[in-house]
């Protein structure tokens, strides 16, 4: 998975989020590249192996590479134990978890209050499900526009592009965002995730927070803009953007890098900011944990609306969704063992897979939650 180029970012972002709180898809992922390097966690924990021999997990593509590392470490630590992960998208991950098919659901956004949480509680035999974030990563606004290699967009302009109010690259609002420099007079082709996706949910939440007056379409895992062409999964979005001139879409940074796509700078009020590890890490400091107890879901609204200089606020978190209680005894034992290995022993292998180890304080919070699963 070619996300090593921002491996250090994940650790910095998670560390920033947790420090301030004191104590969210498809079958393919890019190939590995270089790693910026992050220190391995020092925390370890005893693992009570056993229980269900073959766990089932499904969901977000953003965590697919990490899940492969976790599964390998789990098998090595607990002989004969396995986990099968299907990267089918966040929406499917939640559906399969709530339907009792997946033991663990993977999503780029936490369970939504209402139908999702109600079904999750029913699945967990009347007990709440917990959202446990394991990976943080930025979302690129990627584009292909011959004759333009440096594009700056404001949240207001983005909202109007993705709702169809701005239709051409030489629109006056885009020209103004680029300091009076007109871009080529070509039609804008919006590319969006055709499948239900936490990436879409986060992107629409960002537009709603940063451009509330221009984005009235709401959020959710289904794209609500009413314009453009849908593509399946992150690879499909990246491929569609790369295939045609005039395209623009939202996709995880790793996929934009893998396809060598141009990425727009975001101007939230302090000038255009390019997506880098440093600028995304600067932005994540605005995030806060809003979940109670061992439910560690994040409130990213303040981050998305931030106007902090030299920060890139469009980021998402990937969650593992699990039952706090309600598994049968064998499944609960195996889920706890897998997550414990993932949060400890497996961390040493994340750098080579393109991720960074969890920061110590967040690892501690995860272990507390994992131990409480019954």
Which stretch of 19-28, 110-119, 275-284, 350-359 has the lowest confidence by average pLDDT? Answer: 19-28
pLDDT tens-place string over residues 199-251: 899 999 999 999 999 999 999 989 999 999 999 988 999 999 999 999 999 99
| Those residues with Cβ within 8 angstroms of residue 312's Cβ, 6 or more apart along the chain or in another chain | 138, 266, 273, 274, 275, 276, 279, 280, 282, 283
User: Looking at residue 352, what is its pLDDT?
Assistant: 62
Q: Mind giving me the DSSP string for 232-259?
A: SHHHHHHHHHHHSTTEEEEEEHHHHHHT
Tokens 């270089």 sit on residue:
34
Quick one: 275 and 292 in the same domain?
no
**Residue 308, domain member (yes or no):** no
Quick one: 275 and 331 in the same domain?
no
Q: What angle do CA 366, 371, 374 make, to 5 degrees?
A: 125
Number of domains in the chain: 2
Average pLDDT over all residues of the chain? 86
Joined together, the tokens standing for residue 271 give 């000038």
Structure confidence at residue 117 as a pLDDT band (50, 70, 90): very high
Tell me the C-alpha distance between 307 and 312, whole Å.
Answer: 9
Which stretch of 86-90, 209-213, 339-343, 357-361 has the lowest confidence by average pLDDT? Answer: 357-361
Distance of CA 224 to the CA centre of its chain: 19
User: Looking at residue 359, what is its pLDDT?
Assistant: 62
pLDDT tens-place string over residues 297-344: 888 888 899 888 999 999 887 899 999 999 999 999 999 999 999 989
Per-residue pLDDT at 103 exceeds 80: yes
Quick one: 108 and 148 in the same domain?
no
pLDDT tens-place string over residues 43-69: 578 999 999 999 999 998 778 878 998
Range of the domain at 188: 139-283
Quick one: 53 and 184 in the same domain?
no
Structure confidence at residue 350 as a pLDDT band (50, 70, 90): low
- Looking at residue 278, which CATH number applies to its domain? 3.40.190.10
Quick one: 244 and 334 in the same domain?
no
Looking at residue 324, the DSSP 8-state letter turns out to be S
pLDDT tens-place string over residues 238-281: 999 999 999 999 998 878 888 999 999 999 998 999 998 778 76
Per-residue pLDDT at 29 exceeds 60: no
Tell me the C-alpha distance between 368 and 365, whole Å.
Answer: 5
Per-residue pLDDT at 119 exceeds 70: yes
Under a CB-based contact definition with an 8 Å cutoff, are residues 259 and 239 in contact?
A: yes
**Residue 9, domain member (yes or no):** yes
| Burial label, 93 (beta-carbon count in 10 A; 0-12, 13-18, 19+) | buried
Residue 56: closest CA among 46, 48, 67, 65: 67
Give the range with max mean pLDDT: 5-9, 198-202, 289-293, 338-342.
Answer: 338-342
**Residue 269, domain member (yes or no):** yes
Q: Where are the alpha helices (DSSP H) in the chain?
A: 7-21, 64-77, 90-98, 115-123, 155-162, 172-177, 198-210, 233-243, 253-258, 277-284, 301-304, 329-343, 350-353, 360-372
Quick one: 76 and 152 in the same domain?
no
**Residue 294, domain member (yes or no):** yes
Is the model more confident about 137 or about 96?
96
Quick one: 172 and 290 in the same domain?
no
Is the model more confident about 79 or about 351?
79
Under a CB-based contact definition with an 8 Å cutoff, are residues 267 and 156 in contact?
A: no
pLDDT tens-place string over residues 133-162: 877 778 999 999 999 989 999 999 999 999
Quick one: 106 and 199 in the same domain?
no
User: Looking at residue 276, what is its pLDDT?
Assistant: 83
């Amino acid at each position: 998975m070619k996300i090593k180029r921002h491996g250090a970012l994940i650790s910095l972002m998670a560390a920033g989020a947790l420090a301030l709180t004191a104590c969210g898809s498809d079958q393919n992922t890019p190939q590995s590249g270089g790693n910026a390097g992050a220190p391995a966690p020092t925390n370890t924990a005893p693992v009570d192996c056993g229980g269900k021999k073959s766990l089932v997990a499904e969901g977000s593509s953003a965590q697919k590479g990490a899940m492969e590392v976790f599964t390998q470490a789990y098998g090595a630590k607990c002989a004969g134990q396995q986990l099968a992960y299907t990267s089918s998208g966040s929406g499917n991950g939640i559906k399969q978890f709530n339907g009792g098919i997946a033991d663990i659901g993977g999503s780029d956004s936490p369970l939504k209050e209402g139908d999702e949480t109600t079904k999750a509680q029913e699945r967990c035999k009347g007990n709440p499900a917990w959202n446990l974030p394991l990976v943080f990563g930025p979302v690129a606004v990627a584009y292909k526009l011959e004759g333009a290699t440096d594009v700056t967009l404001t949240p207001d302009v983005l909202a109007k592009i993705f709702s169809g109010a701005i239709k051409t690259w030489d629109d006056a609002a885009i020209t103004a965002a680029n300091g009076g420099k007109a871009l080529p007079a070509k039609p804008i082709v919006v590319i969006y995730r055709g499948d239900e996706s936490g990436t879409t949910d986060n992107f629409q939440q960002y537009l709603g927070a940063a451009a509330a007056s221009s984005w009235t379409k709401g959020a959710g895992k289904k794209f609500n803009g009413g314009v453009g062409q849908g593509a399946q999964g992150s690879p499909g979005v990246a491929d569609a953007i790369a295939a045609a001139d005039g395209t623009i879409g939202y996709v995880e940074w790793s996929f934009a890098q893998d396809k060598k796509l141009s990425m727009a700078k975001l101007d939230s009020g302090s000038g255009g900011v390019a997506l880098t590890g440093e600028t995304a890490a600067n932005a994540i400091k605005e995030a806060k944990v809003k979940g109670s107890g061992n439910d560690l879901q994040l409130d990213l609204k303040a981050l998305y609306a931030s106007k902090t200089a030299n920060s890139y606020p469009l980021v998402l978190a990937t969650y593992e969704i699990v039952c706090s209680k309600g598994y049968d005894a064998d499944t609960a034992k195996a889920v706890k063992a897998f997550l414990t290995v993932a949060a400890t022993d497996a961390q040493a292998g994340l750098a080579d897979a393109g991720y960074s180890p969890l920061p110590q304080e967040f690892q501690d919070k995860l272990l507390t939650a994992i131990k409480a699963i019954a």
